[in-house]
A and B are shown apart, each in its own frame.
Chain A
Amino acid sequence: MVLSGADKNNVKGVFAKIGGQAEEYGAETLERMFAAYPQTKTYFPHFDLGKGSAQVKGHGKKVAAALVEAANHIDDIAGALSKLSDLHAQKLRVDPVNFKLLGQCFLVVVASHNPALLTPEVHASLDKFLCAVGTVLTAKYR
């Protein structure tokens, strides 16, 4: 799966539009993921996962920042996320299936806040991008 020139433009466009709200989107993505896929909470036993949790907000900010970073270096996502990839492989070891769940929730957040932005073409590009990010983060697992 390769990101075409059009895909890259679509993704950059999404993140340009989201702008400073990325952090909020990150937090909401996590909130939705924990609600829809309770098994994902097993990675956060040390977190308060209640509504409005500062820890979830903080973590959402980190997740969003990583997506923004990947979008800003979309020609070399592996390079941009190399350290994060190491972290996931060596320390976090989040099962690969969960990146798809996070991706689904991020798409839902974007759709919910910006329905006009998420045209079918942009939806396809963003889905591909999120897959690519998941692939990079799990690339060094074994």
Chain B
Amino acid sequence: MVHWSAEEKQLISSVWGKVNVEECGAEALARLLIVYPWTQRFFDNFGNLSSPTAIIGNPKVRAHGKKVLTSFGEAIKNLENLKATYSKLSELHCDKLHVDPENFRLLGDILIIVLSAHFGKDFTPSCQATWQKLVGVVAHALAHKYH
């Protein structure tokens, strides 16, 4: 069980409270597909991913980014119980989607960069440290049911 200090919980909720989930999710997913193009392998049915401009403007990327980050929000509401919260999602990613868990780590790192760009100096080293811990724990929970 991961322990979250009061300060960490505060840093998580104060940032999350100001995040536009749709915008941030879309941007994070778009950047994942642009910065690590091999991640496009999971999205053959998304249509035009031929250039950064195409990816950023792609409505399926936007929609899926929003979906992913909305789910992330669920994790934040259930910090004490992440493995259970993500149990079915973990099975899905393993059995149906066949996603290498390394991709969760890549997306987590990208999300941090998007948050940093958005919050600037307010995204302090302590803030980053807490959020790196959070994305790591989320990635771990998503990989937990893999077999």
Residues of A that sit less than 8 Å from B by CB:
28, 31-32, 35-37, 104-105, 107-109, 111-113, 115, 118-121, 123-124, 127
B129 touches A35 (CB 8 A): yes
A115 touches B118 (CB 8 A): yes
Would you list which residues of chain B between 34 and 80 have a CB under 8 Å from chain A?
Answer: 34-35, 52, 55-56
B123 touches A124 (CB 8 A): no
B34 touches A111 (CB 8 A): no
A120 touches B34 (CB 8 A): yes
B114: chain A residues within 8 A (beta carbon): 111
B35's partner among A36, A105, A111, A127 (CB-CB below 8 A) is A127
Give Cα A115–Cα B27 distance, bound, in whole angstroms.
Answer: 13
* B6 on interface, CB distance cutoff 8 Å: no
CB distance from B33 to the nearest CB of A (A): 9
CB distance from B135 to the nearest CB of A (A): 10
Given contacts A31-B125, A35-B129, contact A120 B113 (CB under 8 A): no
Q: Which B-chain residue is minimally distant from A37 (CB atoms)?
A: B132
A118: chain B residues within 8 A (beta carbon): 113, 117
Per-residue CB contact flags for chain B residues 110-127 toward chain A (1 = under 8 Å, else 0) read 001110111111010110
A121 touches B34 (CB 8 A): yes
CB distance from A106 to the nearest CB of B (A): 10
Q: Which B-chain residue is minimally distant from A118 (CB atoms)?
A: B117
B118 touches A124 (CB 8 A): no
Residue pairs across A and B with Cβ atoms less than 8 A apart, 25 shown, are: A31-B125, A35-B125, A35-B126, A35-B129, A104-B109, A107-B113, A108-B112, A108-B113, A108-B123, A108-B128, A111-B113, A111-B114, A111-B116, A112-B119, A112-B120, A113-B120, A115-B117, A115-B120, A118-B117, A119-B52, A120-B31, A120-B55, A121-B52, A123-B34, A123-B113
Give Cα A2–Cα B84 distance, bound, in whole angstroms.
Answer: 42
A120 touches B52 (CB 8 A): yes
* B30 on interface, CB distance cutoff 8 Å: yes
CB distance from A110 to the nearest CB of B (A): 9
Most interface-central of A28, A113, A127 (chain B CB within 10 A): A127
Given contacts A120-B52, A124-B34, contact A111 B109 (CB under 8 A): no
A37: chain B residues within 8 A (beta carbon): 132
A120 touches B128 (CB 8 A): no
A120: chain B residues within 8 A (beta carbon): 30-31, 34-35, 52, 55-56
Give Cα A121–Cα B30 distance, bound, in whole angstroms.
Answer: 11
Most interface-central of A104, A107, A111, A112 (chain B CB within 10 A): A112
CB distance from A35 to the nearest CB of B (A): 4
Give Cα A37–Cα B105 distance, bound, in whole angstroms.
Answer: 14
What 13 additional pairs, Cβ within 8 angstroms, besides A108-B128, A111-B114, A115-B118? A28-B125, A32-B128, A35-B125, A36-B129, A109-B116, A111-B113, A111-B116, A112-B116, A113-B120, A118-B113, A118-B117, A120-B30, A123-B113
